[in-house]
Chain A
Amino acid sequence: MCGNEACGEGAILAGCKFYAGYPITPQNELTSYAAKRMNETGGVFIQAESELAAINMVFGASAAGVRAMTSSSSPGMSLKQEGISYMAGCELPCVIVNMQRGGPGLGNIAPAQGDYFQAVKGGGHGDYKIIVLAPSSVQELLEYTFLAFDLADKYRNPACILGDGLLGQMMEPIEIPSNLVPEIPEKPWALTGCKGRKPNVIRSLILAEGALEEHNKHLQAKYGQIKAAEVRVETLGVKDCDIVLVAYGSIARIAKAAMELARAEGLKVGFVRPITLWPFPETSIAEIAGRAKKFLVVEMSAGQMVEDVRLAVNGRAEVAFYGRMGGGIPTEEEVFEQIRKLI
């Protein structure tokens, strides 16, 4: 099964009943998989006329109380940002998959990680956050897509799977965990028709003086809860290391291999993989920064996550960066070479 299909199966296992999407490489297998599986499981699949329409169809399905998802790749994600901002403002849950490709503009269809800022800083307008999960294998694409639905519903907030073209296209065997039971809460806020209750209204337009600030305070308090409860991070060899590699997603696997090369040569190299990019594992990194001397952040971008690492390290260690852009994928030897330079 390829990564894109694993995402689709994770969604089906999570009880997703609505998918709307628009073709874009390198995530098309997910759209096709959703078309097939929604049909088989009694869900709804719509090939939308645009990414704008797709995210807004998801808005509608979510407002009606149904688990809903859309997927795209970088240029399409730019178009979805409007809808994501509205959904965050309206506190509507949904899952959005972004299999990143090279940019800016039309770029290319090779893997890249240039959408980190867009995903974790809030790519649309206004003060909002979405939960961002960064799987690094096909198995994780399935499991974290499943998890993303539970988190989205738990916090009434959009959640994003930030992958890349490499992960989406990669074929790996997967095992469907036997304990995957979705936690779908009651949704008394959903639009179902007002039979037996007062009418529900879903909106982000809040005009009364001071009321929008109150709404924002409520959102920020919710984001605080997410930060306190939902950080996920993988660490390896960070107890006794001089240099710490930090990478997420597909490239984290390359970084991990580079760490093993370094360890084989007796270098004390540790490894940190943020699994949630927002909330970012800043506490873990800050704690490691108390021991390690240097950090090396590796990304397929000009340097985006490295800014969050620097904020977490807060000057207590040196933070170096190695990045490839526009679809360039570093080898483990190249990363190892960068580690040597820091010694």
Chain B
Amino acid sequence: MKKRNKKVSQLASLPVRQLEPANRPMVRQAHHPSDHPERSRGAGQPANDSLRLGRPLSLRDVENHYCAGCGHGIVHRLVCEAIDEFGIRDRVIAVAPVGCAVIAYEYWDFDVTEAAHGRTPAVATGIKRVRPHNIVFTYQGDGDLAAIGTAEIIHTANRGENITVIFVNNGVYGMTGGQMAPTTLAGQKTSTTLTGRSIRRDGYPIKMLEMLAVLPGAKYLERVSVHSAQETLRAKRAITKAFKMQIDNKGFSMVEVLSMCPTYWGMTPLQAADRIKNEVSTFYPLGVIKSC
């Protein structure tokens, strides 16, 4: 319960941060590999000094609301690094989800819209079809993409929409208090599976990429993780490739990022990272699922 209370108190403090992001003291993104003390000098330097060491231009200089050890901050950064490397910040239109990343637009310094829960790819479809020269991506969690928005993601992929989807899979509903997600592993305890996810009662965890891979409209599908520096670099390459696919008009691309939720896994950040390595990534295999 302590952990949940902590989460609630963090959410309660959100509004203040939203009100005056510009007036907040600069606090770098937490938990990124580049946060290592030896590299910390990079944070205050101009972004063009080094993307790896500095703050990407596309990432706002504000404190984020994510819990300690959460993967969202890392994924936000990787997306921004990729966008900056392509020099497309002023062409990007992002669609933020409902879930922990609901206020992603507080962190991203480019055009962003919200979307109703799960309708994210439909909104992106509307944008991309009328603005084909813009770079449109959705950023979705597992509840958004694999539960309430299942129809939208399947049909958006099946139409071969030329958009990029960043799918952050942490196997739990973080925003609402740690309920079972469609991607929750068998036996995993959540606030709605108190004795662990029962396959008989709750069904099986969904592998979205493998499902989407059978659709001809889906052109590039890769699963990565941010549980270690090495995997984070791979994640960066996959996200970059996914944007490149869109820039080259190759069609629907999606990167699933296995991400830590220490708060609702009931773990320390390090334990959560180890869980991805030892448990989550054995069920959700990392690597390119489809590329054409």
On chain B, the residues within 8 Å of A53 by CB distance are 119, 122, 125, 151-152, 155
A90 at the interface (CB under 8 A from B): yes
Q: Which of A20, A68, A82, A201 has the most CB of B within 10 A?
A: A201
Complex formed: what's the CA distance from A61 to B92 in Å? 15
Interface residues on B, range: 35 or more
**Could you tell me if B19 and A18 are in contact, using CB atoms closer than 8 angstroms?**
no
B289 at interface (Cβ–Cβ under 8 A)?
A: no
Cα–Cα, bound, A208→B16 (Å): 6
Interface assignment of B95: CB less than 8 Å from any CB of chain A: yes
- Say whether A58 faces chain B, with CB atoms less than 8 Å apart: yes
What mask results when residues 220 to 249 of chain A are scored 1 for a CB within 8 Å of chain B, else 0? 000000000000000000000000000000
What is the size, in residues, of chain A's interface with B at 8 Å between Cβ atoms? Answer: 44
Query: B18, B112, B123: which contacts A199 (Cβ < 8 A)?
Result: B112
Contact check, B111 vs A203: say whether CB atoms are below 8 A apart. no
The stretch of B74-82, B101-109, B228-236 in contact with A is: B101-109
8 A Cβ contacts from B219-250 to A: none
Contact with A along B114-154 (1 / 0, CB 8 A): 11100100111111111100110000000000000001101
Contacts of A66 in B (CB 8 A): 130
Q: Are B90 and A193 in contact (CB under 8 A)?
A: yes
Query: Which residues of A sit under 8 angstroms from B127, Cβ to Cβ?
Result: 60-61, 63-64, 191
Chain A, residues 20-33, CB within 8 Å of chain B (1/0): the string is 10000000000000
Known: A52-B119, A53-B152, A203-B114. A192 touches B15 (CB 8 A): no
Q: Is B24 in the interface zone, CB < 8 Å from A?
A: no
CA distance A18 to B125 in the complex (A): 11
Interface 9-mer from A41-49, A107-115, A150-158, A177-185:
A41-49
Contact of B114 among A83, A199, A205, A208 (CB under 8 A): A205
B91 on interface, CB distance cutoff 8 Å: yes
Query: How many angstroms from the CA of A191 to the CA of B126 in the assembled complex?
Result: 12
Asked if B7 CB lies within 8 Å of chain A CBs, one says: no
Residues in chain A near residue B188, CB distance under 8 A = none
Q: Mark B150-169, 1 if CB is under 8 A from A, else 0.
A: 01101100010000000000
Q: Is B14 positioned at the interface, with any CB of A under 8 Å from its CB?
A: yes
Q: Which residues of A contact B197 (CB under 8 A)?
A: none
A residues less than 8 Å from B122 (CB atoms): 48, 52-54, 56-57, 59-60
- Tell me if A61 and B126 are in contact (CB < 8 A): yes
Write out the residue numbers on chain B whose beta carbons fall within 8 Å of the beta carbon of A54: 122
CB distance from B176 to the nearest CB of A (A): 14
Counting CB contacts under 8 A, is B110 at the interface?
yes
CB contact between A60 and one of B15, B89, B109, B113 (< 8 Å): that residue: B113
* Given A56-B119, A205-B102: A64 in contact with B90 (beta carbons within 8 A): no
Which of chain A's residues 185-200 have a Cβ closer than 8 Å to chain B? 191-196, 199-200
| CB-defined contacts of B112 to chain A, threshold 8 Å | 191, 199, 201-202
Task: Check if B151 sits within 8 Å of A204, measured CB to CB.
Answer: no
Pick 18 A–B contacts, CB within 8 A, sort by A. A18-B130, A20-B126, A48-B122, A49-B152, A49-B154, A53-B151, A56-B152, A58-B126, A59-B113, A60-B124, A60-B125, A60-B129, A64-B130, A199-B110, A203-B114, A205-B103, A208-B19, A211-B19
Q: Which residues of B contact A (CB under 8 A)?
A: 14-16, 18-19, 89-93, 95, 102-103, 105, 108-116, 119, 122-131, 134-135, 151-152, 154-155, 159
